[in-house]
Structure 1
Amino acid sequence: MIQRKEENILVKISIKIQKQIEELVKQVNEYDYYYYSLDKPKISDQEYDEIFNQLNNLEIKHPQFIDKNSPTQRVSGTALEAFKHITHNNKMLSLSNVFNNNEIIDWCKKNMEEVSSSEILEIVCEPKIDGLAVNLTYNNGEFIQAATRGDGYIGEDITANIRTIRSLPLKIDYKKKISIRGEIYIKKTEFNIINNQRKKDGFDIYMNPRNLAAGTMRQLNPAIVSERKLQLFTYQLINEEDNSQFNNTHHENMMSLNELGFPVNSLIKKVKGEKKVIEYCKNIENIRDSLDYEIDGVVIKFNNLKIQNMLGSRSRSPKWATAYKFKAEQKYTELTAIAITVGRTGTLTPVATLKPIVINGVTVKHATLHNEKYIKINNIDIGDTVAVERSGDVIPKIIGLKKGKRDKRTTFLMPKKCPFCLSFIKKNISTSEAQCININCKERLKKNIIYFVSKECMNIRGLGTQIIEKLIRENIIRNISDLFYLYLQKDKIIFLEKMGEKSVSNLIDEINKSKKLPLNKILTALGIHNVGSEIALLLAEKYTNIDNLTNAKLEELKNIEGIGPIVSNSIFEFFNSAETQELLNKLKSAGLNMHQNMKINSVEQKKTYLYNQNVAITGTMVNWTRSELFELLIKLGAKINKTITKKTTILVVGTDPGKKLTLAENNNIKKLYEKELLDLIK
């Protein structure tokens, strides 16, 4: 009897604790919603921390009551090995662009004419967040999956990482299966905090908030992601079950999402007519710098969902929406000095040192000056006040000088000697390029090795810039071939800073593994002037081994389709230099594979859809690097076209395609998207 009473008491205590945990989960989720989605904190940070810690402590003591959607469970305890690929049920399209008032007016009028509307239609405008596009899937009221946009058809599974974003609701009061499109970003203030800390710790700073947000989402360890305090804005709702909508308009859908707990940008607005659209765009551009997140334009959409369906979509963008892109912001600052960098081919590039300025929330201290000719044509001197813009809102560029009096100026002169090895430089009169021709220049060697071991080339992991610098400084590496003899100096390398026996053993394993790569990888890695992975593959396929290529005549090289006189001269000069022959002999002695072993049976090739087709490529692929895709296409019997020509029959399209897509559409060239290519292979 007493035992039963005790059991009943324990059951009651357990129920009480479970209810207490459930109530705390509800409280924390509510506070998160008000703080992250509405930007209206209900309690102080200290009070929030106390409640959160109370919940966390209860869950630690009573793990049987932990809900997987508890706010304490956002960070997974294990790191991922790789990102899985996810096929989108509804393609994630990109947006077309308009750049001025006239183009906004034309876009509005053209679409209203297409739907035969005599009345002025409602349009929804909202800031275009400069972040990472994602698709969120919910079923039975629970968050189940998140994927990046990828190529629009296939994205990467980032479910574990996105759970760490506090503004993302893990449970919603809606049971049907739905998808929500959104943009992941990081606040400017948080971005600056991270960069300031990296600067103190002696690390390179991040270029811009968008790159940091996108890079963070590709971290394999969710614990690292959670430290970055990423944010989310949602911008579209899709009903996955029956293709119906919550409401009749896009704006109502956004308000419904907000009520369900999703963060929707508070600057979203319904307007009527192109004049109001232009007014909205102008207002947003004026307040751009005051926002704590990066935007690069305004998204303009027809509000009525029936109108959206009537307008439909093109191959890569909806006709019912477009993006007004802001002009690149320009600011004036003082050019305080001009430094020289040396690339892997020895080219000297002048780089402007600027008095720091903030452009679109990013501190700019340097800008490229290209070459001596560019400096002279633009009459740029040290001490000038220059106009700077971030081209594409990413790359800083000097676009002119401030008019008026120019005092305390110093004319820049390209040095006669390499600033790193003090060897005399060689000038190309036609291109105005200056070049360090000393093949033993340590700066050139460093850049060459960084390129040689990169993923696109020999893919030798474990050789970062700092390790390469140490190996060069200690004279362990004097040329590229020394990489393949590092095992002879293992005992010396072990005692270098941040190295150890295990690290060195792993590095040597990676180097040995790279020896088996096909010839095209070696040709890419050698860094022949004007020869990238595409031409390297053409050469490897044609000549099959290094000796055949070395003995190729200049006229023979010129006659290869896709290789013109400039490229053929570069190839011929490279293989006919004594330094190259010495390097190749050392690489052969080290055991590198100097053959191309990629051919498949010609009968099998003829069975493929791509056999004998002239194929060009545009955009970035989710499943392959550019060189891997070249190899695949050649295996399938295709002929690679570097550009769109009259012979091109197929264009393979990836994420963020370039001008080739427009050329293909104008010339009725068949488009093959990455998902379709995957299906063909299967």
Structure 2
Amino acid sequence: MEGINIAERVRELTNQLHKASIAYYKYDNPIMTDKHYDELYDELEKLENESGIVLSDSPTHYVQGYIIDELKKVKHTKPMLSAKKTKDSNEIKAFLKDYDWYCSYKMDGLTLVVRYNENGEFVQGITRGTNGIIGEDVTEQCRFIKNLPMKIPCSQPLELRGECVVSYDEFNRINKEVSEPFKHPRGLAGGTLRTLDLNIVRDRNLAFIVFELVSPTFTHKLEGLEALDKMGFETVQRCKPKSKETGVEDCVEAMQPEFCKYPVDGLIFELDNTELSKSLGATSHHENCRMALKWQDDTYPTTLKYVDWTMGKFGTLTPTAVFEPIEIDGSIVERASLHNISVMKDLGVKSSGQTVYVYKSNMIIPQIDSVEPINKEEKLIPNKCPICGQPTKIVKDNNSEVLVCTNDNCNGKLLGKLSHAVSRDALNIDGLSEATIEKFINLGWLNSIQDIYHLFDHENEMKVLEGFGKKSVEKLLNSIEKSRKTSLERFLYSLSIPLLGKSASMMIADSVDYDFNAFISKMTFKGAEYFRYLPGVGDALITSLNAYWKKHYSDILQLANEFTFETQKSIMSETTNELENKTFVITGSVNHYQNRDALKADIEAHGGKVVGSVSSKVNYLINNDINSTSSKNKKAKSLNIPIISEDQFLSMLNN
């Protein structure tokens, strides 16, 4: 490979891995399999070593992670680095040499630092954060971690590193209670620890598993972990080799993932001597005193039945392999995403009846590892859209081939866009489900987002539809009307502009003080280039935003006429102390506010406080259904806590 091609490939791999890391860690929405990520990572590391070309944001040299803006930023006492990874046990043996070492589980959660003062009192908790240098202060959230002691028998300052995790039992319990189940315990642990609602943290059994004593140091790390055991901490499970010759194999056998109640994604082999570890130094990505052994996933053979094609909001048709049901890790699996055309071709998926080998990534997400070659080949990639029947074509998207429908008016594209537009993080229209949207599209009532705000023209027709009635129609139309009061970031996110996600929408809105007219002005006179200074806004997003603006400028202005835009600036300017020292609980649906979060923000803007459960310390329960027999209403009545409606609350503010 010529030098220029190596440089291009290094840049391409760096970008791919960076995007995959953001999707995986920040949004808990993987865009590639773990296996594919590891293959790309290994290829990049090999090319970097051979060529000496290492980009500034290379994932092999800098740890990935993300700051949550709402949380205070804190600098770590020393960089929180990763561990070099391998799947080859012989590489582990070569690394360990004749040193004294031990093996522990590589926990799969959110890395966390905790600190104690000289009196043995817990004082701070910090997440890993961006590049392992700046983290997020989650001190108050840590106070609700069930196994994290708040006071320990120690007379000097203490700093620990570990992993915030949830057990599989807790993961399954919580998923039965939430409307949108979490995909993996890692996402549940991270999302819970970062939430600003401490009631959520309290009600979930987070655990903190210590894997390192940062200070004070012991001569041997195992001694430090044993001392922490005696102080009441839960330290990582570990194994000491009994034999130099078979130690690695013995530890691997003794430390299988099923022996741990928490999610793990490998093993850490760590040198025990502290001074030796320091002398070996570190790269900007990992310390040279440890190495991670990533497990090979167990695969299970089954038979491919067919490939199912579904459409996303941008018109991309995504293939899903449907195979004979098979039990993996205690559950029945019969579907696995094939992601795109490139993945299908790379795997060699060609025909029904083909033997496919399936595994569960992180014991949760079904993936196809490989397929057995087959002589026959059938047409698995449709040349006509399964939704509208119009021609499809294969196009390039970030160096991958994807299948798209060529019909701009395809109902599948429209369904995806409208379903996204009404979602909770966009326009937040309650009651307008995907099935309802599809029904209205087929009736010819919906052809754009703007048509949603004219559904009242079909009110009488709606009331006679099967599954609809007077009350349900009124509730839906009221929800649509409530959504007319929105914010710029929700509006932008609702448009399904390629590459413009929730975070970028929020940053762009914030940069113009959430002022729609200011956004229009910037785009009209300077274009998306104006927003380049914002984190994460690069060439691809700028190009996409400009293209969308050029094509849909008049549509954006017309759609905006349906809304009244709120601004954070106006809320902050109205901050008063009218509700100072008053504590509220909110339950049930709201009428005057866009949602309960908006009501909560207004209470806090006027000096009040909102908590999640009713207790003797609460002053008011806000519930528009004052006569409800809900548990919160019953408890409020038993404690003689006033139950007020939104109207009564607003009167309280206006008096």
Contact 1:122/1:272, CA 8 A, preserved across alignment: no
1:464/1:360 CA distance change after superposition, 3 Å: farther
Instruction: Give the 3 Å change call, closer, same or farther, for CA 289–383 of structure 1 in structure 2.
Output: farther
Q: How has the CA–CA distance of structure 1 residues 123 and 506 changed in structure 2, closer, same or farther, with 3 Å as cutoff?
A: farther
- Of 358, 363, 366 in structure 2, the residue corresponding to residue 388 of structure 1 is 358
Pick from 85, 93, 118 the counterpart of residue 97 of structure 1.
85
Per-residue CA deviation, residues 555-595 of structure 1 (Å, 9 max, x unaligned), is: xxxxxxx979xx98x99997887xx57635634766899xx
Give the partner amino acid of 1:326.
W
Which of 574, 578, 583 is the aligned partner of 2:555?
583
The answer for the alignment partner of 1:143 in structure 2 is: 122
C-alpha distance in 2 between matches for 1:465 and 1:108: 59
Where in structure 2 are the equivalents of 1:48-447 lying within 5 Å? 82-109=70-97, 120-139=98-117, 140-151=119-130, 152-195=132-175, 197=176, 203-239=179-215, 244-245=216-217, 247-269=218-240, 273=244, 275-284=245-254, 287-357=256-326, 364-371=333-340, 375=344, 378-390=348-360, 396-402=366-372, 411=378, 413-415=380-382, 417-420=384-387, 422-428=388-394, 433-447=402-416
Q: CA deviation at 1:486?
A: 8.4
* 350-359 or 178-187: bigger deviation: 350-359
Whole-Å separation in 1 of the counterparts to 2:227 and 2:100: 18
* 1:143–1:171 contact (8 Å) kept in structure 2: yes
Give distance in 1, aligned partners of 2:423 and 2:286.
34
| 3-state SS of 1:155 partner | strand
The SS at the match of 2:82 is: coil
1:185-213, CA deviations, whole angstroms, 9 ceiling, x for partnerless residues? 22223333444x36xx8x44432222222
Q: What is the one-letter code of the residue matched to 1:397? A: Q
Pairwise CA RMSD: 4.8
The aligned amino acid for 2:220 is: T
Shift of 1:297: 1.2
Worse-matched range after superposition: 275-284 or 291-300: 275-284
- Bigger relative CO (Cα 8 Å, ≥ 6 apart): 1
Following the alignment from structure 2 to structure 1, what is the Cα–Cα distance between the partners of residues 394 and 430? 32
CA contact (8 A) 1:490 1:504 kept: no
The question of whether the paired residues in 2 share the 8 Å contact of 1:425 and 1:437 is answered with yes
Q: Distance in 1 between matches of 2:489 and 2:122?
A: 41
**Maintained 8 Å contact 1:123/1:300:** yes
The aligned length equals 462
Closer/same/farther in 2, CA of residues 223 and 511 from structure 1, 3 Å limit: closer
SS in 2 for 1:255: helix
Q: Is this contact kept in 2: 1:484–1:512, CA < 8 A?
A: no
Q: Secondary structure at the match of 1:95?
A: strand
Residues 586-606 of structure 1 show CA distances to partners (whole Å, capped at 9, x for unaligned) of 34766899xxxxxxxxxxxxx
| 8 A Cα contact 1:297 1:326, kept in partner | yes
Distance 1:584 1:506, change over 3 A: closer
| 1:519-559 deviation per Cα after TM superposition (whole angstroms, max 9, x unaligned) | xx89x8433899x979x99xx99x95459979xxxxxxxxx
- Write out per-residue CA displacement over residues 448-490 of structure 1, whole angstroms, 9 at most, x where no aligned residue: 24556889xxx64635796566456446753134467789999
> Does the 8 Å CA contact 1:86/1:157 hold for their aligned counterparts?
yes
- Judge conservation of contact 1:333–1:388 (CA < 8 Å) in 2: yes
**What amino acid is aligned across from residue 229 of structure 1 in structure 2?**
N
Call closer, same or farther: CA 1:367–1:315 in 2, change over 3 Å. same
Q: Which has the larger radius of gyration?
A: 1
Question: Alpha carbons of 1:527 and 1:449: their partners in 2 closer, same or farther (altered >3 Å)?
Answer: farther
Paired with 1:545 and 1:501, the residues of 2 have a C-alpha distance of 33
Normalised by the size of structure 1, how large is the TM-score? 0.56
The code of the aligned residue for 2:289 comes to: W
Matched residues in 1 for 2:83 and 2:137: separation? 23
TM-score normalised over the length of structure 2: 0.58
Return the alpha-carbon distance in structure 2 between the equivalents of residues 210 and 512 of structure 1: 31
Shift in Å at residue 182 of structure 1?
Answer: 1.4
Contact 2:104 2:269 in 1 (8 A): yes
Deviation at 1:351, TM superposition (A): 0.6
Paired-residue identity, %: 27
Q: Which runs of 5+ in 1 are unaligned?
A: 1-79, 110-119, 551-561, 594-682
C-alpha distance in structure 2 between counterparts of 1:438 and 1:337, whole Å = 25
Give 1:513 deviation, angstroms: 7.1
CA, structure 1 residues 581+104, in 2 after alignment: closer, same or farther (shift >3 Å)? Answer: same
Does the 8 A contact of 1:460 with 1:510 survive in 2?
A: no
2:428 matched to which residue of 1? 462
Against the structure 1 CA distance between its residues 429 and 259, is the aligned structure 2 distance closer, same or farther, given a 3 Å change threshold?
A: closer
Deviation string, structure 1 residues 334-375 (Cα, Å, up to 9, x no partner): 434432110222222221134455656776442222456765
For 1:435 and 1:584, the matched residues in 2 are separated by 25
Q: Supply the AA of the counterpart residue of 1:159.
A: T
List per-residue Cα deviations over 1:47-80 (Å, max 9, x = no partner): xxxxxxxxxxxxxxxxxxxxxxxxxxxxxxxxx9
Consecutive unaligned residues in structure 2, runs of 5 or more: 1-67, 464-469, 509-517, 529-537, 566-655
Once the two structures are TM-superposed, the CA of residue 234 in structure 1 deviates from its matched residue by 1.0
| Structure 1 position 179, deviation (Å) | 1.4
What amino acid is the match of 2:351? D
Q: CA deviation at 1:123?
A: 0.9
- Output one character per residue of 1:151-197: Cα deviation in whole Å (capped at 9) or x when no partner: 222222333333333322222111322111111222223333444x3
For 1:149 and 1:572, locate their aligned partners in 2 and report how far apart those are by CA, in whole Å: 35
Q: Aligned to 1:510, what secondary structure does the other structure show? A: strand
Superimposed CA distance per residue, residues 390-438 of structure 1 (whole angstroms, 9 cap, x where no aligned partner): 467775432323579x9xx995544454334x33232238887543334
Shift of 1:263: 0.9
